[in-house]
Amino acid sequence: RTLVSRTADGWTIRANGQISAPIDLQTRLFEAAYDASWRPRRLTIEGTRSGTTFALRTTFTDGTAVNEVVEGARHTSNEDSVDPAAVALPNLFFAGYEALAVRLGATEPGDELPVYVPPTGGQISVRVDDVLVREIQTAEGTLKARIHRVTFMNPQQPLPAEVWTDEGRRLLRFRLPSVGLDVARDDVVTVSTRLSSLRLPGDDDVRVASRGFSLAATLTTPTGREPPAGG
């Protein structure tokens, strides 16, 4: 569960949840604070990984990220130089991608955004390769999605990915095809959800109710012709 809220001086992303085995990660608290221009201020994560409690606290000040890490009885800390406008994306905590979704809304193909991976991943950039606009038919209605095809410019191996956002710049989906990772919002992965393709004159979206679910389809009827007398 993820909540993005406006504060008096910026934005806050809060979330909790879990990822099942083999990762076995439970997140009790994810909280990322950004200023009004979506520049990071602090990040707090608390949870349990493979039965061991952990906590990460990162503070961003004047181009420096200070990380405090607690893992079981082990305490460590480190500092990194970061771009003040970098998006904080700790590995496996996908609520952080809400900030990336917002920032991608103002980009065009060829643009790059700075990304910081706390606590020890350093800074990289995300290059925008292409932006597509598609419609998604859901049980609740139609969503207009922007599909940002991007590349995470890791020094060892660039990683192509997709970041899908809705009209409010909220995260719909994050895909990392090279590792088979696909994280999506509940309303875009139900059995009746589908990505719209070419629309034709005479198309009509229909749903056939069944027990426990409904079948989504498009009925296309001829246009510019009188219907047959026999129906």
| Phi, psi (deg, nearest 5) at residue 182 | -145, 110
- What six digits make up the tokens of 112? 């790059």
What integer pLDDT is reported at residue 230 of this predicted model?
Answer: 80
What integer pLDDT is reported at residue 229 of this predicted model?
Answer: 82
- What six digits make up the tokens of 179? 């590792």
Query: Distance between CA atoms of 66 and 58, rounded to whole angstroms?
Result: 5
What integer pLDDT is reported at residue 221 of this predicted model?
Answer: 80
CB burial of 28-67 (b: ≥16 within 10 Å; e: otherwise) equals: eebbbbbeeeebbbbbbbbbebeeeebebbbbbeeeebbb
What integer pLDDT is reported at residue 97 of this predicted model?
Answer: 97
N-terminal to C-terminal alpha carbon distance within the chain: 50
Question: Which distant-in-sequence residues (6+ apart) come within 8 Å of 216 by Cβ?
Answer: 137, 192, 193, 194, 205, 206, 207
What integer pLDDT is reported at residue 177 of this predicted model?
Answer: 93
- What six digits make up the tokens of 212? 């426990």
Q: 107 in helix, strand or coil?
A: coil
The ranges of the chain with pLDDT < 70 are 191-192, 196-200, 212-214
